[in-house]
Structure 1
Amino acid sequence: MLRDETKFSEGFLDQLTIPGELSAMAFEPGIGLLAVGTSCGTVHVFGAPPARISITLRPACRVKHLLFKSDTFLLICIDEKDNISIYDMSRRDPHGAALRHEGHGPRRAPPTASGTAAQASQLADAPMRVATHCARNAVLCAEVTASHSHMFLGLADGTVDAYDLERFIISPYRVSNLWWPVEEALRRTASPVAPSRLHVPLIIDIKTNPRDMNLLLLCYEGGAVLYSVRDKSVQMTYELHLLPGAPGPDPRAPFEEIWKERLCPATSVAWHPDGAVFVMGHENGALSFWNAKDEDKPLVVRTLDQTDIERPTAPEDTAALPSFGPREPVFKLAWSAFPAQGWASWGAAQESAKKDADVASDTVLTMMGGSAQGTTSSMLHTFHMSPMPGALLWTSRTPEAAHKARVALQQVLVPVKISAYHASATIEDFVLLPNLSPHCDGAYDPYAVVVMVGNDERLPMIAAQSAHRGVESFSFPPRPGAEHEYEPLHLPLPLAFIGRGTVLGSKLQSVPIAAYRKLLHGAHEEIPKGSVSDDVLMGGYATPYIVGGTLAHAEGIARQGQPRILVTWHLDGTLRFHDASPHLLLMGEANPRRGVVLRKPFPMPLPHLTISVRQALLDPSLAGLPSLHSLRRHPEQIQICDAHIAWDAAEAAAQLVSGQIMHIAFATDTVLGSPQLKQDPTALANDIQDMSLDASAPLTEFTSLESAVNPTSVGFKPAALIQLMPGIPTCSALCDAGLLALASGALLVVADLRGQDVVVRAGFGAGDYFSRQIGAAEDKIVAEESKSAITSLTFSVCRTEKDFILAPRLLVGRANGFVTVWTFEHGSMDSWFGFRSDSVRVEVKGHHLYSAVLDPIGQAAGMTSEDVQRAHIEQESVQAGLAQLDDTSFNILAYVSERLVVLHDQITGARIARAELPENALAAHVVCKNNARVLIAVSTSSIVAMSLPRLDAVHRIQRHVPSTQEVVASTPQISVDVQGNFVELSDGQQLRLWTAFATLPHGEPPIVCMYTPRTLPLAPGEGAGGYIASLGGWLGTTVATPLSAGAQLDAVIAGPKRMALPKLPPQIGTSVETREATSVALPEMPGASNAEQSGDAVQGKGWFDGYAKSISKYTSGSLRSQASLNMQLLHKRDAIIADVGDGIADLERNASNFFKQTRNSAFKAAAKEKIYSYL
């Protein structure tokens, strides 16, 4: 079957990493989408797992700003060249839809296309780009609100342009540089803080008042301006001056600086959710709180830990003030509120109210920056404040009332509690994730915060751009006084693979079904609410895309493959596991509107198996151990360079760059297989003290790490740290029987991990190995072997030409072509004994890539506990004369180097096949498909398939690897599994999944729909007119449009000559689309019985029972039941329309009553003010 070259084809399964450096973030609460931009000009949008898409800007420039317009679901991207690209998330790219309908499939480019597979995958589900625009100047900031349809662009010349997001054209409305008059007034008064006339005041930020969309707060370098869009006039001007004698943020500043007037440049602003107060951050780390109606003096001026820093004080009092030195600027501010505050106009958002009344009654101000320069910048501070008194919003304007209101506001602005989020590195940006409402600048009712962090100085530096910035997520708001104020939340897999999580190496391996079930125990625990990967709070959905089959064949296709586990090790010293099994792309849950919907990401992270080598070795309980002294002094050496997994034994070995090996065991309470130390605690403490005082304490080869184990956790746990040789191992191997082999140069060490004993130590001198038959000729061979470095280690239970009895063996390959066979036996007290038994010289060309011992059917012969037991039984039977040697059983050695493949009979016998590779290969493996086996060698530009055992060339496939923008190129690392899939780690630490059998039935990356909108709440201040306008727009009428304040403001900004609406294709519908690939006649898929007979198929039915039920439920519906459902929906629609009509009538009556009550209240307030004026 595999001799047919049409069965081979390169297929792109997924790209698991984000190329380039992270540069921007944004969140859309209406659907629930998180978007990030990169320096490579790509935008990645994440929704519910596994819904995610990638967009490449044209031209591909660094993304500078990302914004969402929630009411129309637009994604706005502004790059470093100030090109504005607008994407409609409710419409698909027509070019990608055309490719799908032509039958090319959404994940592979057509044969005549010039794009690569990865580029085609980005195009298939990408949203439609509806408009582009090039700004006339550099864009420094931008503001988008769901209340009206215009975007304000703050440009480098200090002006503000308006862009129409309905007509997709620049509007004639423009705001001039409003800070020019302020600076000119300072120059006319000859103020010492007046800037030069050559200075152009820059605009820093633009914020819309949350209660009145007509008011814009424009933040310039020198201060802020309150601007009325409708009146085109400046309402207020705010600037913070520190008078002579005011200590300011740094009381230890020079005396001359304190005793002169100082201007505090502004860096950021944020409105209080009620729109009456705002806060302004400054370059010197100060925060100034202002009443929007009072431009003369701020309410409060403070830093993180000091208040009233603007008040002049005597020199002796200033000297007594505590000082932490100069502070960093306040880079960003966000002021959050929660539904429990009880605003009547926000009643639609009450469904997302917090259950915790204490938290919901407060407002939370989030501040990035403002820390003292001597302290860490990896903290995000939050100020918990009391809610604004409602009486302050309608207070009188008399001096007495104004003074009382000012005092009350100052009391409200005193934080009840100050909390801090601790990130792993310097925080460079953050974004809040609201539950539903897009108002209040995206800060209303947030459930999480996502922070962008820079380089972690405690970790090694690498050249990959993706390692420069990372992302972390926490629950929001913090819970002051709780045991854990906040919890870390899950992130989508590509976001977890950047920054500290940058992938340094990976392996893709097929796992036995028994081991797979064992490892996945506990993986399906409920994700805590608020996680950014929670499908309840995140939008979008994904449906299977099956190549060469239909949904009815999904179970059969899944049964043809084995479970796969992707193992990765990362920059932060963690070893992580991910489920990459084929059923994750094939089977999901039935949905009556969308078909079969996938509910789990691919690959699916298994966080319960993650182990942090760095955290384990730096645990305080291990302080004083001599073997950890060097690592604790130089923690940058705690970095994994290779990992081996014994799936049947559930053990792992992680090799560090320093040369040590960490033994890791899977357990539920304590480490399995590790001897327990029984020692008096007092004696142990004395021993640790003695070791700390003795600098020449001997280093132990096995150091127990059990004291660093959490006994309540489930998964992999550190068992021991092993250091068996002076150098750094160049190759290693681990078997399921508990043996670990290490080699460095010509040195070889084999250790028993479970017994913590050295079994073989060779190359350290004469007589350091054991041989049962050694003579002069054999001694010369041994001497010649020892001159060459060891390049490969392979464990197997097999037979050799001289020893036809099954035995556990280790095949040691060297650079000069010698392959030495070491045989192991059980000695006394269940200990291992190893000796050199045979050798053979094979032909090699280049570096070693792959070696395996094949049985008669071509399957790789491993060394599990069952294999060792079978060999032991055969040895005892032959020695007792109860059985004879099996002459029909044999083993073949497959040895692959960069340019050559050779096969040897009975391991050390004659060469039976030889084949040269057309180019230097990077990886090779024996692959099994439908009980047929071939040898696959993968290089940078092709995939070569060879038959077994003749090594005839079956087919050569050309590869299409996308280019990268990395400055530093590296040799790709490739790991191939037994099913013909392979993972590639290329330039820039980019991780991609491929398959060599793209023409065979399989599941590819799913079809993604990111448009799953929810009803948005009205903006504050909309009132009854907003509800009527919203319902009128939903019913398709324009009668109530004039009642919308947003429409009135749009008319002012767009002017009288506003263009007509552009014609766009229809939005993505909610009907069930065809989600199956075009395919020819498909042979019947094998059933469960055939799958169980195959050695490579999944064993047992229990693995697929849940998925099979959902598929049968989806495919068994009849036309009659569908017609009945349609009639029920029609009747329900009539009832809903009738209820809407009644609701509109009630709403009109309530609106009339509301206006009457408002008018009466206004009359009463005016009368009171008139009376007070006579008093």
Structure 2
Amino acid sequence: MFKHEPEYADLSADLRDRSDFNVAALRSFEYPLNVATLAVEPITGLLAIGTATGTILILGGASVESKLTLPERVKVKFLQFSGSTFQLVCLDERSQLHIFDLSSFGRPKLVASARYDQATSLTLSPSHSHAFIALESGEIRTYDMLCLRKSSYKIPNLWHLYEEKTMAIGMDMPPPTSQLPIETVVHPRDLNLLFVAYSGGIILSDLTQRNTLRAYEFVLPAGAPGGAGYGHPDILTHRRPAVTAIAIHPAGHFFAVGYSDGCIAFWAVDDEDQPLLVRTLDTIDVNLVNVDELEKDHDIPPPEREPIYKLAWSSFSNSSDPRGGETALTILGGLIMANNEATGLNVQWLPAFNPAEPPSPAGTQTSLHPFMRSAMKTSIVPLSDFFYLTPGIPQDFFLTPRNSPHFAGHHDPTAILVLIELANNSRIVEAYQFPPPAFLAASEPEASAQDPQSESLVDELALTLKALTVTDDPRVLRLPTPLSFSTFGIFAAQLLTLDRDSHELFVNSGKAPPADLSALPLKGGAAWSDESKAREIRLAKFQMPRILMTHHHNAAAALQFHDISAQLLITSDSTPIENHFPNPLPGLTIDLRTLLTDAAVVKRTSPSFLAHAIVQSAYLARQSLECAVQFASGELVVYRLKSDPANAPRFTETHDDELVPLEHVLSSDDARFSPYFLLTTGKPVSACAISDIGFLAVAYTDHLIVVDMRGPRVILRRGRDKKNNRISVHLHTSEANSIMSLTWTVTTTEHDPQIRTRLIVGYTSGLTEILTVIRETNSPGWRIDADIKKIETVAHPLVGGTFILDPKKGLPLRATKELLAQSFHPTPPETHCILITAGAKGARSFSDITGPRIGKTDWGNKTGTVQSVQIVEKMGSRALIAITDNHEVLAFSIPQLEYLCTLRLPTDDTSSLTCDETGDWMTAQIIDRASYGTIFDFRRAYTPPNITFTQPTIPSQPQPVSLGPTSLLSSWFRFGQSMTGEQLDILLGGPDRPIPEAKQSSLANFPTNASSAAQIATEAQSSLYARLQSAVGERGQMLGDLEDHFNSLEQGSRSMVTQAKRMAAEQSAKSWFGF
């Protein structure tokens, strides 16, 4: 075309100095691995995650994320929110208690630590400010979280005292571990009562009287199977299985205790002699002897059963009766420990405990009426049960209440978080809907049947199809991004820039709806931008929108997309940040499960694809937003956005053996990506390229397939077609080497001045072919021109290392819709382009693709291995950068490829680094952390925001409820007003409780801006502390009033006893005389 090489302008004029670059890590993301425990604050919506490495991550609303580190890097053993004092309380593996103040502006502050001797449990109540810490010695200690000190109130080893009394009357010697405290549980409706679960049994303690009210000891009689079964060698002896868990019924009248042999005993609070019922997960009355079963031969011992590790008894807002409605008992453990047994946890749906008035009074005031005992037993027989199947062994679970922290945090839960251990000893968290929908389906009215005559056949089939997809299984809830990434693992990440129109369409397609029921409900706290970066934040609107695409080894979320645009951080002084960063786009998550079970896919794909569908690479077309997903087994699936979600899936056919249409494959209503077609040849993919104009090119070593996706149909096959024994386009033996690079463009070449669609194919040897796509003569289809141009460029071309640029402005010339439209018109004269190709040894630039070479550079041996290349742009100037395994960036000018400078990257791993055209980069180090940075850190505002938390308003403490209807006088007598939290704090704090120091405000309301938030947090004082200071100042008077109050209660109780006896006599007389 040219007789002389054209003159090309320097496109790197403003990037020739080292000062034109500024490498920096803008934001780091750490994902919690080895999760040890969780804590939920349900009122404001916060989640705290404790790890085995001594870090705590607090997650909440938009961009609310705060990382805390313990003074020593030891495992977090227990973690709880204290709503009454607005603190986060942690007990670590070395029995150190740590208190974090949530009212501090910016991030929670560690305000106190205290060491204990071998702590076994931590218990908090939302109604008072004291923590109960159980020690291995059997003693229960208390900590004042308001005064930040150890309280003088102590509970001795109550089980030791109980055993001393029982041994004095001739009972057997207990096991040495019987005095080990397992946990403490506050009575759900009476703060004065504390259940202490020891290994030997349960103690009900009165905190005010400092005595033991009742002791519940479970003894299996000789011959009773218990949880071990009839084949157990010690079945003919009395056994005392160790206590492992406890849960109180929400009404407070009975409770469940789990034991080491896998059985659960239900006890009435008023009856310590015999449990109501003893059962395993599959058998009832295992505390009774079945003589016939006992006499059978049991040569094979029964399989071992898990202990009951944890119990949680949940109530729901589904009844107007003060005693509550139906309940759910969640059980961790108790399963048969055998190979190939399912792993998970059980939930039992239990009837409501709403008995009527007993037909006759009990014999004594202290005994449990037989009628009430029978009612309790009826309410613990499950109506139904459900098994949450988990991918690994569940280690713990945590319920997420709707809006109340009472009842041990188990009231009206909407989700359950399960801590799961996988085969590689890693721990992940999964969230599920709770309770299971099947429990609530029976109480919902059935929808009225529609008139079949009024429905068309299509509508009827659509409704039938939808009904077949409905399931009663709980939804798997979407976790916050840090937990999601630690669960799924990031195995690759790609940073992409989109134009504003495509970005808006893409993000709006993937955003979760405002009332998103598929996400874990977290909304607590607020994130405020750094005011010192206000000007930089305003400039963020001029940056290119960005998308983060991540790959995961999980079929349910094989590919995920996040919006990582700087515009997400734009906010005013008076409003907090309104988006997460990065912001998940759940509607665009690619779920492979329905694809892998489709009959057509199963028939046409390899077994390795069906068993292990691992994403190797993914390619997103930036305008058409079609996504090609390449799998390690060689299959490739093209996804595209749904044009109309209401359209029913349709089945199409194709005449190409390599293509499998997938438009008929179902996808969820929330999913915006749907599978379009699958390309399979049985060979591994060596290169792939998707365009915005409907063409896809896939290379299989020395084979090449080009697909016109409008059909779809194959328009080119390179290599031998064994089935039809033909070669579509034959290659000479010397040219038959691996294809390593494919690039689509619409431009001219030196030999063809007309703009056309072209495919640039790079081979390992350095040979590069230019294929041209032209229209069919007598049809609207497309074909590959037989005139294929060949040039020598670079050997071993890098993936994504081929670029075609406009020589005047440096703009990339991709296969876009605009350039395709220009190709239908005559090309203006003096239309040129620049080809830049980079390989393992160096880079070359060429004029008009097939023209003379413009520049060259070799990486050299001292730079290390170049892993990827990119052309970056700053203020209209562009440069080629090469990223090496020495954590360095080499910069070269365009188009001459002159060396400019070397930059050092602030990251330990560049193997997974991906860089976009603006110089921003992202590196994901497998599953534990990721870094986001740039080589142009000029006026960028990505500093972590300041966090504020809102102190929750704690609902009033639930009060005791009667056994029977509220009109029953005996119920009034037995259950009165409970002790208040303030009264209990005075009791536990002791007479020497100091006046707490003034504390920073807890920010009850969001401030108008970040500076005022800091000012309020510094100057204002909490009203809670003012009230306590006044109360402590009048302690003597209050204690005197309290004594008078108890004396008054005693006199009133005696009066009520007299009145109750008189009325009982009157009722007996009436029944005796027949009135």
Sort the TM-score into its range (normalised by shorter chain): 0.7 to 0.9
Question: After superposition, where does 1:990-1001 map in structure 2 within 5 Å?
Answer: 990-1001=929-940
Structure 1 residue 242 displacement after superposition: 1.9
Q: 1:17 touches 1:991 (CA, 8 Å); kept in 2?
A: yes
**Out of 465, 469, 473, which is 2:432 matched to?**
473
* 1:647 maps onto 2:626 in alignment: no
Aligned to 2:736: 786
Between the aligned partners of 2:1045 and 2:436, the Cα distance in structure 1 is 38
Cα 1:603–1:915 shift into 2, 3 Å: same
Distance 2:648 2:688 in 1: 21
Structure 2 unaligned spans of 5+: 1-13, 445-470, 962-977, 1013-1043, 1069-1075
Residue equivalent to 2:524: 539
One-letter amino acid of the structure 1 residue matched with residue 945 of structure 2: P
1:595 deviates by 0.9
Deviation at 1:866, TM superposition (A): 4.2
Percent identity (aligned): 26
Cα deviation, residue 127, structure 1: 0.9
- Displacement of 1:34 after TM fit? 0.7
Q: Is 1:924 the counterpart of 2:905 in the alignment?
A: no
1:1163 maps to which of 1044, 1050, 1055: 1055
* Amino acid aligned to 1:868: L
**1:496 CA drift (Å):** 1.7
TM-score, with length taken from structure 2: 0.80
Q: Are the equivalent residues in 2 in contact too, given 1:69–1:146 (CA < 8 A)?
A: yes
Match among 682, 686, 689 for residue 733 of structure 1:
689
CA contact (8 A) 1:53 1:1008 kept: yes
Identify the residue that residue 844 of structure 2 maps to in structure 1. 902
The equivalent of 1:1007 in structure 2 is: 946
Residues 546 and 1002 in structure 1, CA contact (< 8 A), matched pair in contact too: no
The verdict on how the C-alpha distance between 1:713 and 1:1173 changes in structure 2, with shifts beyond 3 A counting, is closer
Map 1:811-822 → 2, pairs under 5 A: 811-822=760-771
Match of 2:496 among 488, 500, 509: 509
CA displacement 1:724-750 (0-9 Å, x = unmatched): 2x4312332222233333334444333
Partner of 1:451: 418
Q: Check conservation: 2:594, 2:666, Cα contact below 8 A.
A: no
Q: 1:62 aligns with which of 75, 83, 87?
A: 75
**304, 324, 348: which one pairs with 1:382?**
348
SS in 2 for 1:626: helix
Does 1:595 pair with 2:574? yes
Instruction: Tell me which of 394, 398, 406 is aligned to 1:427.
Output: 394
How far is 1:207 from its partner? 0.8
Q: Deviations over 1:1137-1156 (max 9, x none)?
A: xxxxxxxxxxxxxxx99999
> Which of residues 555, 560, 564 is equivalent to 1:580?
564
**Normalising by structure 1, what TM-score?**
0.74
Aligned to 1:613: 592
SS of 2:247 mapped into structure 1: strand
Considering only aligned residues, what root-mean-square deviation do their CA atoms show, in Å? Answer: 4.1
Residue 277 of structure 1, aligned match among 254, 273, 277: 254
SS state at 1:1012 partner? coil
Equivalents in 1 of 2:567, 2:762: separation in Å?
Answer: 38
Q: What aligned pairs does 1:968-983 form with structure 2 within 5 A after superposition?
A: 972-983=911-922
Three-state SS of the structure 1 residue aligned to 2:575 is strand
8 Å contact from structure 2 (residues 475, 518) kept in 1: no
- Asked if 1:240 is matched to 2:240, the reply is no
Q: Evaluate the alpha carbon distance shift between residue 902 and residue 163 of structure 1 in structure 2; reply closer, same or farther with a 3 A threshold.
A: farther
Q: Read off the aligned partner of 1:301 and give its amino acid letter.
A: V
| Contact 2:662–2:677, Cα closer than 8 Å, also in 1 | yes
Is the CA contact (8 Å cut-off) linking 2:231 and 2:302 kept in structure 1? Answer: no
Question: 1:646: Cα distance to partner?
Answer: 1.6
Q: How do residues 338-353 of structure 1 correspond to structure 2 at under 5 angstroms?
A: 338=316
Q: Secondary structure at the match of 2:491?
A: strand
> Are the counterparts in 2 of residues 674 and 719 from structure 1 also a CA contact under 8 Å?
no
CA contact (8 A) 1:448 1:531 kept: no
CA pair 831-547 structure 1, distance change in 2 beyond 3 A: farther
Residue 817 (structure 1) shift = 3.0
For residue 24 of structure 1, report the CA deviation from its aligned partner. Answer: 1.0
Counterpart Cα distance in 2 of 1:39 and 1:401 = 46
Contact 2:256 2:266 in 1 (8 A): yes
1:366 match: 330
Deviation at 1:1017, TM superposition (A): 1.2
Structure 2 SS opposite 1:498: helix
Which residue identity does 1:327 align to in structure 2? R
**Range 756-765 or range 254-263, more displaced:** 756-765
1:1109 aligned residue: none
Counting matched residue pairs gives 962
| C-alpha displacement of 1:35 | 0.8
Give the conservation status (yes or no) of the 8 Å contact 2:658–2:680. yes
Residue 497 of structure 1 is aligned with which of 470, 473, 485?
Answer: 485
Q: Structure 2 matches for 1:1062-1101, cutoff 5 A?
A: 1062=997, 1064-1065=999-1000, 1067-1068=1002-1003, 1072=1007, 1075=1010
Aligned counterpart, 1:1099: none
What secondary structure, in the 3-state scheme, does the structure 2 residue paired with 1:706 have? coil
Q: Which amino acid aligns with 1:557?
A: A
- 2:751 maps to 802
Q: Which residue of 2 aligns with 1:222?
A: 200
Matched AA of 1:564: R
| Contact 2:348–2:382, Cα closer than 8 Å, also in 1 | no
For residues 295-334 of structure 1, the C-alpha deviation after alignment (integer angstroms, 9 at most, x for no partner) is 111112123343222222222599799x995432222112
* Partner secondary structure for residue 104 of structure 2: strand
Among 91, 112, 124, the residue aligned to 2:104: 91
- Structure 1 distance, partners of 2:157, 2:112, is 27
Matches within 5 A, 1:708-857: 708-710=665-667, 715-724=672-681, 726-762=682-718, 768=727, 770=729, 783-787=733-737, 789-827=738-776, 829=779, 830-833=781-784, 835=786, 837-843=788-794, 850-856=801-807, 857=809
Task: Give the AA of the match of 2:580.
Answer: P
| Conserved? CA contact 1:972–1:985, under 8 Å | no
CA distance in 2, matches of 1:673, 1:489: 26
8 Å CA contact retained: 1:436, 1:1016: no
Match runs of 1:265-304 below 5 Å: 265-304=242-281
Q: Is the 8 A contact 2:432 2:474 kept in 1?
A: no
Question: What is the letter of the counterpart of residue 411 of structure 2?
Answer: Y
In the TM superposition, residue 975 of structure 1 has moved relative to its aligned partner by: 1.7
Aligned residues of 2:594 and 2:667 also touching (Cα < 8 A): no
- Please say if residues 821 and 836 of structure 1, whose CA atoms lie closer than 8 Å, have aligned partners that are also in contact: no
Q: Distance in 2 between matches of 1:674 and 1:528?
A: 27
Structure 1: stretches of 5+ with no match in the other structure: 93-124, 347-359, 458-462, 680-697, 772-778, 878-884, 964-969, 1024-1042, 1078-1151
One-letter code of the match for 2:612? Q
Indicate the residue corresponding to 2:306 in structure 1.
328
| 1:44–1:53 Cα contact (<8 Å) kept | yes
- By how many angstroms is 1:250 displaced? 5.6
Q: Deviations over 1:78-131 (max 9, x none)?
A: 333333332111113xxxxxxxxxxxxxxxxxxxxxxxxxxxxxxxx3211111
Which of the residues 550, 561, 569 maps onto 2:535?
550
Q: Is the 8 A contact 2:492 2:926 kept in 1?
A: no
Tell me the distance in 2 between the aligned counterparts of 1:985 and 1:271.
45
Which of 50, 70, 73 is equivalent to 2:86?
A: 73
- Quote the Cα distance in structure 1 between the aligned partners of 2:869 and 2:134: 55
Partner of 1:1093: none
AA aligned opposite 2:315: A
Distance 1:58 1:1154 in 2: 45
Instruction: Give 1 or 2: higher helix fraction.
Output: 1
Q: Mark the CA change 1:861 to 1:517 in structure 2 (over 3 Å): closer, same or farther.
A: same
- Which residue is equivalent to 1:1105? none
**Cα gap change, 1:261 to 1:920, in 2 (>3 Å):** same
Match of residue 1035 from structure 2: none
Classify 1:206/1:532 alpha carbon distance in 2 versus 1 (closer, same or farther; 3 Å). Answer: farther
* Shift, 1:721, TM fit: 2.3
Other-structure match for 1:667:
642
The Cα shift of 1:985 comes to 1.3
For 1:132, which of 95, 113, 117 is the aligned residue?
A: 113
Query: 2:403 is matched with which residue?
Result: 436
Q: 1:31 aligns with which of 39, 44, 62?
A: 44
Q: How far is the alpha carbon of 1:288 from its aligned partner? A: 1.0
